[in-house]
Amino acid sequence: MSWRIWQEGPAQFRLDLLKKHPRAQRVLEVAAEKAGWGKPLEKGMGRGIAYHLSFDSYVAQVADLSVDRKSGAIKVQRIVLAGR
């Protein structure tokens, strides 16, 4: 299954898993859209996306991260959150 993430991308992979859950898909779409998912990142930056259902709340997050090449320290640059 992990090969699909590389082939489709992490956002599309999660959207496909949520086909039968339109509210969950919409929350994920909003987080990705607001974070600029799919737009190129600056050199040294990375981006991740996550979705969670908890206590009847749909939540998605996109994290923009950077890594200090000397120390290896990871810094969270921005978190974009969508929920319903």
Point out which residues pair with 54 in neighbouring strands. 57
The whole-model pTM stands at 0.82
Q: How many CB atoms are located within 10 Å of the residue 56 CB?
A: 6
Structure letter (DSSP) for residue 84: -
Point out which residues pair with 46 in neighbouring strands. 65
Phi-psi region of 80 (alpha: psi -120 to 50; beta: other; left: phi over 0): beta
pLDDT tens digits, 34-77: 999 989 888 889 999 999 998 989 999 999 999 988 998 999 99
